[in-house]
Amino acid sequence: MMKSVYYAAAKINLSLDILGKREDGYHLMEMLMQSVSLFDRVEISIDYRKSGIQLECNMPEIPLNEKNLAWKAAERFLKAAGIQTAVHIQIDKKIPSQAGMAGGSADAAAVLVGLNEMLGLPLEEKKLFAIGLSIGADVPFCMAGGTKYVKGIGEQIISVPALPECTFLIVKPVQGVETAACFHRYDLCSDIRHPDTLAILEALEKGSKQGVFSKMRNVLEQAAECPAVENLKERITQYRPLGCAMTGSGSAVAAAFESASEAERCFNSLADLQKEGARLFLACPVPYGVCREQSLDHLQFAVH
């Protein structure tokens, strides 16, 4: 039996825009995405003497069958690679659900990367990414990680300069947002306020931290219908972050601060929300989406 541990990084959106809609219903996206130091722990075990997929998770609300993206990743990988073996996946989740932080996609990415590594790299990266895209639009980014410009339905992943050093305060309110419903409401919006993603890319090229974060925007905020998001942004902006926006389809809000001390000061001011059930995190940008356990040794990060 083989066993390995992988860490799947959450993502946030520095920019999220919708450029149109395909005939098949998929939205054409333009996004600047960033991996952050908030991880799900994914332990993968392989036993050639048996067959089948088993999944365990520390969160009781997470499905443990083919509805889970990590399960789908294992199933589709084994089929594509033509390998019969038993796969056991144990997920210790830290990334919140219904947050817009790609928690399920990150787990699927870890399973794809992990199985391919553990089984001797039977699939080329292009095939691995194609499997990921078939599972979910965020899976390819979660495999690539770092700072990326993402277009199409998630299949166009373009490397850009790394994000300048900063500390993120991420708050997931009690209220969540269902992704499909959010996109449906967006389709009904008439007065749409689009972000300027290209301006953020130009600021990245110039190394302008202020230019990057001052333009943090998410076109889906106007369709989230989540009062907690606006309330959070109002409270956070009192502490003068470099930028603040909802991530993904919500409901988590990410704010960038110049220093960890400034982020912690804002974090402490939201203690009442934590008592009500909101989840608060401090994190930093990381240059990967999936990493091995030993890769974390150098990294300082805090999860609250």
**Structure-token pair, residue 289:** 């989406």
DSSP character for 294? G
- Quickly count: other Cβ atoms within 10 Å of residue 38's Cβ: 28
What strands lie across the sheet with 279-283, from one edge to the other? 243-246, 253-257, 167-172, 279-283, 302-303
Please identify which residue in the block is written with the tokens 């993206």: 69
Q: Are 108 and 40 in contact (CB under 8 A)?
A: no
Please identify which residue in the block is written with the tokens 């080329």: 124
Residue 11 a catalytic site member:
yes
Pairing type for strands 86-92 and 52-57 reads parallel
Q: What's the CA gap between 76 and 59, in Å, rounded?
A: 24
Looking at the DSSP assignment, which residues form a beta bridge with residue 88? 45, 54
- Quickly count: other Cβ atoms within 10 Å of residue 227's Cβ: 11
Residue 138 a catalytic site member:
yes
Phi, psi of 224 (to 5 degrees): -70, -35
Q: How many residues does the chain have?
A: 304
Choice among 93, 138, 172, 215 that is catalytic: 138
SS3 185: helix
Closest CA to 154 of 61, 35, 28: 28
Spell out the residues 6+ positions from residue 174 whose beta carbon is closer than 8 angstroms to its own.
228, 276, 277, 278
Choice among 11, 72, 94, 172 that is catalytic: 11
Catalytic annotation, residues: 11, 138
